[in-house]
Structure 1
Amino acid sequence: MHEEYLYVIGGYHPDSSILKDIWRLNTKSNAWETCHVTNLLPSTMASFSLSQYLSYHMLLFGGTSFPFGHNQSNELYSLFKRDGYFNLVLEKASGDIPPPCYGSAFISAGDTHYLVGGTTGREYNSHIWKLEKKNSWHWTKLTNETTHLLPKGRYKHEAFIKETLIFIFGGGSTVDAEPLDKLPVFDTASKNFITISTSPDSKYGFPLPRKCFGAVQHEESVYIIGGCSHDDQKMANVLNDLWRIDLATFQWTKLEVVLPVGVFFHSASITPDGWIYIFGGNCDGQSKVRTNIVQRFSIYST
């Protein structure tokens, strides 16, 4: 999201496989238009990770092509806008370069970026890598198999940073989803995990375990949007609920509003004035029906 525009980058559609384009939605006129890109986006634009740290400047990492999990990437790209065009640059990186993976969380804290978890399609991890630019981009792995309270490996989770703490929400594998009553939290100062117990909504309790959901942060609150949990190994339970957690008190609140169309594998973004936009996603439990609709709600009307 930038100014009045919502940007959609890459993705997957079964009719055309991996999508290697950029679109933007004018949130004032509700009109879509394609964006000019100086060179082709990579073929691994499904479940890649994005970290935005400047206006019109973001980092892209990893992702998979189709069939999912057969061709993963650990390449790092800069994507930035200049003179009306998006420019994609393959960056050279050194250090503890993460393995090829997809479904990771990628977050920024000023000039420092953190990559959290992900999957090769067969193995899942919950490791943390730090990315910094000095003379060039440099990766540092902050965890290993002996790290205190290292959580279960996962993908399609979300992560947010507050001061030195990285909060990890949900995620899972192809056959399970992680709960949200207790959150794994990584302390970038001590380089250890802690577990934080959250407080349930007084009426609805805790949100269901989930993965492939949307999440945005506004001030001290994180909003969890839709996603899916698993009733069995063949059918996903598609969710349309919306939740807020206060990062100061760790209190969950279920919002009264629900998504008109329950989705998972969607994207979400928030405007400065508190409008949350949700784009696309799967809307059936067998992942056969996808949508390109835009749903939105105001955090001030919930």
Structure 2
Amino acid sequence: MNLEDFSPEIGEVSEELGEIKENLGIYRFSIFRVEDLSPLEGKLPKARSGHRIAYYNGRFFSYGGYNPKIDEGDEDMFEDPFREESFPLFKELWEFNLSTRNWRKIELGGPDIPEQLASHTAVFHPVYRGCLLIYGGTGNPFGSVTSTALHACDVRTGKFIKLRTLPSQAEPLALYGQSICLDKSGTLFTVGGTTGFQYFMDINSIDLTRSEPSWDRLNSSSDPAEPHPRYRHEIAVYDGKIYLLGGGTSTSVCGFQTIPTFHIGEKYWYTTKTNCDRDATIDEGDGDGYPDARRCHGLVQTDHRVWIIAGYDGHEIFSDVWCLDLLTMDWKKINIELPKPVYFHGVTLTQEGRVVIFGGVDNIQLNTRTNQIYSFWLKVPSLRCMAWESVKHYIPKMNKIPQGKLREVGIPDDLIENLSAGGQAICG
């Protein structure tokens, strides 16, 4: 396909594409290469922290967030119908299209828009397509507005409802800063969290494949091997076990030399020793081949590997990436650094293996946040996905070209549809 194929019929866009062709150079795919995806035009969400993001259908969705540095007189905030009740938190749902690199703010509706806008969790429902689940979290002041409800949002309409669950004595405590993980069977696990004053290490689960699910309590409070209670940790589920990674309290952080592990079937805690990265240099991690202890980091999981991304130890913000193989328990320092160190950021993973990072606190002294988006690939995706990435590289404003012209040059309909709001799923 040549860019000249488009030029006769796209008017002013053709001149712009001519400049793009000269300046962008040859597309080259590479894993572990950080790319800035932040858009150059259009309305953007404000810089924020404490939000959560989740990937679905060629896009990621961001709910909530917090920024005490936003001016109450900011004109952009006057358009927010929830400004008076939520400021300086963001009662917002944003969609970012990974094909067009455009943001879209989704109008919220429904009877049950969650008030928990910071340190909540977000994941897409394993059965109902396009249903974003928001669980846990807190409002302002922190710790005063908490909930045990699972809030469900249809991202096509922005309508929120509370997911119906059967009454259960095992319902989790109303906390924030907990961690969740959805396993392959459709069971959601939640671990830990805080009220703002007290920290917990409860483990609860709910089978979301049932029409009316109910919560189960998995751990016993009398287990002597139970790890220290914490918040803003991350968890991974693999081979019938829950692995607890990092986290801490307002004054402490947890390390990674040993990993608290919970056996789901037998319902007990034990400790798993990990192996250092012997190739890591002395100034990487804690000096002996392990990641520095931290909380408020990001985590993604690809089968038996988990990836720790950035975070904070109470003094330093990190920009590093580490991988733990759950089969061998070997740590590996990945040879990349984020352009900005961040914590309280949002992290998600596409189905083709692309990590996306949005927002977070980027400066302790100035107490500032960012709204930048970074991305890198963990693996080589499908050939179709790589071809689409190449086309997007050469024609970054493809959504401005008439769809009929795109069809004429052979771009498949599902990819064309993904250029508009609510399009069909493609590669990430």
1:245 shift after superposition: 0.9
Rounded Cα–Cα distance in structure 2 between residues aligned with 1:163 and 1:155 = 24
- State how far apart, in whole Å, the 2-side matches of 1:71 and 1:35 are: 23
Q: Does 1:42 align with 2:93?
A: no
| One-letter amino acid of the counterpart of residue 250, structure 1 | M
Identity of paired residues, percent?
A: 28
| Residue 188 to residue 283, structure 1, CA distance change in 2 (3 Å) | same
Moved more, 212-221 or 48-57: 48-57
Corresponding residue for residue 262 of structure 1: 341
Matches of 2:254 and 2:148 in 1, distance apart? Answer: 25
Question: Contact 1:21/1:41 (CA < 8 Å) preserved in 2?
Answer: no
1:29 aligns with 2:113: no
Contact 1:91 1:137 in 2 (8 A): no
How does 1:1-302 map onto structure 2 within 5 Å?
Answer: 1-14=55-68, 15=70, 16-39=87-110, 41-54=113-126, 55-81=129-155, 84-93=156-165, 94-95=167-168, 96-109=170-183, 110-132=185-207, 134=210, 136-204=212-280, 205-230=289-314, 236-286=315-365, 288-300=367-379
Worse-superposed segment, 89-98 or 176-185:
89-98
TM-score by length of 1: 0.91
> 2:238 and 2:223 mapped to 1: Cα distance?
21
* 3-state SS, counterpart of residue 51 of structure 1: strand
Cα deviation, residue 272, structure 1:
2.5
Give how far 1:108 is off: 1.7
**3-state DSSP class of the match of 2:275?**
coil
Partner Cα separation in structure 1 for residue 59 and residue 211 of structure 2: 33
Partner of 2:7: none
In 2: Cα distance, 1:210 partner to 1:137 partner: 34
How big is each residue's C-alpha offset from its partner over 1:124-179, in whole Å with a ceiling of 9 and x where there is no partner? 11110122355633112112321241110010011111131111110101111111
Give the drift of 1:269.
Answer: 1.1
Q: Which runs of 5+ in 1 are unaligned?
A: 231-235
Give the conservation status (yes or no) of the 8 Å contact 2:113–2:161: no
How many residues matched? Answer: 294
CA RMSD in angstroms comes to 1.8
1:153 partner SS: coil
Flag the structure with higher strand content: 1
Q: Counterpart of 1:48 in 2: which secondary structure? A: strand
Higher relative contact order (CA 8 A, sep 6+): 2
Q: Answer yes or no: is the 8 Å Cα contact 1:51–1:113 preserved in 2.
A: no
Structure 2: 5+ residue stretches without partners: 1-54, 71-86, 281-288, 381-428
